[in-house]
A and B are shown apart, each in its own frame.
Chain A
Amino acid sequence: MRLPTSTLAQTAVFALGVLVLGVLNSYINPNALRLHVAHINPTEIHNGGEGKGLEHGYQTASAEDVKSYLDLLYEDPPYVMMIDARSEAHYQEGHIPGSFLLDHYHQDQYIKELKPTLEESAIIVIYCTGGDCEDSIFLSNSLVYNHGVEKEKIFIFEGGVEVWEEKGYPMKEGAER
């Protein structure tokens, strides 16, 4: 079957239009993902093959460790900085009290404001949902390899919100830390 030239022309115009709108969407829509940013940045890319999937080269923190840090989170500058790598909607539904929101997929909206605290804190604990969630690892990679944060300062709370809630530890709702 051969398509008429007019149909082929329409197809080309349609495809081009969609591509242009898609690229524009990437940079105009604040909810969209920027084309040039490596949102999915597994550790093996940075470590030449080491660390696949949920494996990573970062130190880890348990739920008990994180709980023991709670009193240190409101110092100025905080000795321990807790970062929630999930979306703003998830953060507002409930987050570990004292944690900063740094949505991994929309980092450009938060990173400037948080940069001084990232530099001043001695320990940075990053968490996301838990389970298969890799966003805390992706965010850690981004902070280390794109924003110059020292790798030794970063701890990943692998259990994330799931384990935190299972343990019955306190959660805070809303936009406030």
Chain B
Amino acid sequence: MRSYLPLFIRVAVAALLISYGVEKFQDPVNFLKSIHEYDILPVQPSWMLNLGPNVIPILELAAGLCILFGFLRRGAAVFMGGFLVLFTGAILWRTLGVMDETGQAFSEIAFDCGCGGGEVVIWEKMVLNAALIVGTFYCMFERGVVSMQVAKDSAGDSANHGD
């Protein structure tokens, strides 16, 4: 019987991305404020800062759905993976800034990184993001339509058991 691990990874990555997307989609103002806190994007012209809260939730939702259902899966995984690398780099950049300002140790830093879920402990977030990046890129390389294969395997198993 085929392993269910690839399917599990795919569903887990998709579920995480969709949940992040839904949260940001529901509260774009909070996400805008979080992005502003990074002090990376200029406030003028305004569309540069406003693009984030409008596009990123859609990106996460779309990537989650594409990875889950297989439509444009590789493209979605490449783009989402690349974005996650950039976003994680930005979190690290801001964390270093906070460490510099407050003198706190890396393990003590916690703030609302705009990632979803409000204030988070940063080292835990970095570990989760690293896992998400690996999972996302895995979804790109994973070959075959897993859901269909699993369905076929299940059908085969049922037939073998005489169900």
Top 9 closest A-B pairs, CB basis? A10-B75, A22-B55, A38-B46, A14-B75, A11-B75, A26-B54, A7-B74, A35-B47, A22-B54
Task: From A22, A23, A33, give the contact of B59 (CB < 8 A).
Answer: A22
Main secondary structure, interface of B, reads: helix
The stretch from B28-36, B97-105, B150-158 touching chain A is B28-36
Q: Tell whether B131 is near chain A: CB-to-CB under 8 Å.
A: no
Q: A24-64 interface mask toward B, CB cutoff 8 Å, 1 = contact, 0 = none?
A: 01100001111111111110010000000000000000000
Shortest CB-to-CB span from A25 to chain B, Å, is 5
Decide if A18 touches B59 in the complex (CB within 8 Å): yes
Shortest CB-to-CB span from B97 to chain A, Å, is 15
In chain A between 1 and 15, which residues have their CB closer than 8 angstroms to a CB of chain B? 3, 6-7, 9-15
Give the CA-CA distance A33 to B29 in the complex, in Å: 7
Give the CA-CA distance A175 to B52 in the complex, in Å: 30
Shortest CB-to-CB span from B84 to chain A, Å, is 14
Q: State the A residues within 8 Å of B (CB).
A: 3, 6-7, 9-15, 17-19, 21-23, 25-26, 31-42, 45, 87, 105
Q: B49-62 interface mask toward A, CB cutoff 8 Å, 1 = contact, 0 = none?
A: 11101111011001
Task: Decide: A33 near B50, CB < 8 A? Known: A18-B59, A21-B62, A38-B43.
Answer: yes
Q: State the B residues within 8 Å of A (CB).
A: 26, 28-29, 32-33, 36, 43-44, 46-47, 49-51, 53-56, 58-59, 62-63, 66, 72-76, 78-79, 140
CB-based nearest A residue for B53: A33
Task: From B62, B66, B75, give the contact of A9 (CB < 8 A).
Answer: B75
Decide if B50 touches A14 in the complex (CB within 8 Å): no
Give the CA-CA distance A36 to B46 in the complex, in Å: 6
